[in-house]
Amino acid sequence: MGIFDFFTKKKKTKQNDDINLDHYMKVASIQTINKLEELFNYPVNFNDFNKITVGVNELPMLIGKEDEKAICVIINVNQSISGKMIFMVSEESGKSIYGLLEEDMNKFFDKDGVLTERAQSCLQSVASIFISSFVSSISNFLGEKILVSIPSISHSFKYSIINEIVFDKIIDSENLHFYSAKFSIDQESVEGLFLFMPDDFKYFEFIEEIK
């Protein structure tokens, strides 16, 4: 082995990848907070990421009661990391976010209690800013491209939303593996959940089972 090989061939193990990505995730979350604080003009709390493995039946317990109403935005990412990034807030928190950015609160729901197109667009934009700033930080750290899909939004019961988040992750598995973090804006009673469900395990190894 030549002397320069020692310096150039740094052994890259899966464990290293994991540790690095965990670190990148934390730094990316700080950059994402900064972006959101600029947008809302309020302090934003964003808890550190947890790697979580749960059984399919246990996921609802993690995200709340079955009848609770939620608004969920999904954005697919692919290339150097791939999977689903999910932004989920309660109906009340969605309304508060809308109130921070739009003036006319009466246009949040239509006459049937469904999100108006304006409200959908507003929340999709916030989720896109949130997820894009997170993804762009990770992409900078990795020095690799990450492609981002257009957002899809749903307003329904939490249980109703779950299947469309997880269906492709549970075809061959009893368990779901994902990153989870909570975010909040205390002054406006906004609370939400950010989930990242990776498609492959290039950078991810889940060893802890949380019940």
Residues of the shown chain interacting with another protein in the complex, contacts defined by CB under 8 A: 56-57, 59-60, 66-67, 69, 74-76, 84, 109, 112-115, 120, 149-150, 152-164, 166-167, 170-174
Choose between 29 and 120: whose C-beta lies nearer to another protein. Answer: 120
Rounded Cα distance between 79 and 119, Å, is 31
In the complex, what is the shortest distance from the CB of residue 57 to another protein, in angstroms, rounded to a whole number? 5
In the complex, what is the shortest distance from the CB of residue 95 to another protein, in angstroms, rounded to a whole number? 14
In the complex, what is the shortest distance from the CB of residue 205 to another protein, in angstroms, rounded to a whole number? 19
In the complex, what is the shortest distance from the CB of residue 78 to another protein, in angstroms, rounded to a whole number? 10
CA torsion sign for 34, 40, 44, 49 is negative
Rounded Cα distance between 77 and 18, Å, is 18
Choose between 62 and 100: whose C-beta lies nearer to another protein. Answer: 62
**Helix, coil or strand: residue 85:** strand
69: which DSSP letter?
E
Distance in angstroms between the alpha carbons of the first and the last residue of the chain = 48
